[in-house]
Amino acid sequence: MTRKLVPGDRLVIASHNQGKLREFSELLAPYGIDTTSAAELNLPEPEETGTTFVANSLLKAFAASQATGLPALADDSGIEVDALGGEPGIYSARWAGPDKDFNAAMRQVYDGVVAQGGWIDGNRRANFNATLVIVWPELTAAGAHASFEGKSFGTLQWPPRGDGGFGYDPMFQPDGADKTFGEMRPEEKHAHSHRARALKLFVKASVDGGHS
């Protein structure tokens, strides 16, 4: 059995990250879905004990769905730096520490790359990953959840540029662009972003009228 959201259906976005929530509301606006969020509902933040994007995303979606009885969509995401063997990856939020200091986290990425042989072209490749999981509370077993992955490949920049977006945006320039995500307007970022790509797959599979 498959399930699709129709206009007016309620969906909880299982996130407390205001940057992600802003992007989801922009990207879902055309479909008339009534969205709320884990942050707005004051749901507890589950501990991210998984070792993969999909495991952590499932854990967040499941917790929000259990707490609300609503379909829940979670996003586990991060930046994977080639020269760092894919780190920080699923630990991207944790590199910013309890104060969510992304200037310090970006500096840690920069220092790590420098330590791996220098801030040279071949060392600066990276990609963002977003893995979305939808949990349908009323479905069981096979149909109860599904995952969708989007990636954006590009080059790390130093110093960081722009004050738009969130997280690591000012130090990432997607391929085919001459601006960092931090310098882009929201719709420019969506044209290149991992989250918009994953959401497009979600919409196609799970939103009525989302196939076009």
Q: How far is the CB of 161 from ligand ITT (least distance, A)?
A: 13
Q: How far is the CB of 3 from ligand ITT (least distance, A)?
A: 23
Say whether 169 is catalytic: no
Which residues contact ligand ITT (rule: CB under 6 A)?
15-17, 20, 45, 48, 60, 75-78, 92-93, 128, 165-169, 181, 193, 195
Identify the residue whose tokens are 């599904």. Answer: 146
Q: Residues for the chain: how many in total?
A: 212
Q: How far is the CB of 127 from ligand ITT (least distance, A)?
A: 11
Point out the catalytic residue in the list 75, 76, 99, 175.
Answer: 76
Give the nearer residue to ligand ITT in terms of CB position, either 169 or 183. Answer: 169
Q: How many beta carbons lie within 10 A of that of residue 139, not counting itself?
A: 15
State whether residue 131 is helix, strand or coil: strand
Give the nearer residue to ligand ITT in terms of CB position, either 44 or 209. Answer: 44
What 8-state DSSP symbol labels residue 197?
H
Q: Which residue's CB comes closest to ligand ITT?
A: 167
Q: How far is the CB of 107 from ligand ITT (least distance, A)?
A: 14
Give the nearer residue to ligand ITT in terms of CB position, either 52 or 138. Answer: 52
Helix count and strand count (H, E) for the chain: 5, 6
Spatial distance between the Cα atoms of 22 and 16, rounded to a whole number of angstroms: 11
Give the nearer residue to ligand ITT in terms of CB position, either 195 or 197. Answer: 195
Q: In what order do the strands lie in the sheet with 34-37?
A: 34-37, 10-13, 72-81, 125-135, 145-156, 172-174
The residue among 210, 159, 169 whose CA lies nearest residue 192 is 169
Spatial distance between the Cα atoms of 149 and 158, rounded to a whole number of angstroms: 27
- Give catalytic residue positions: 76
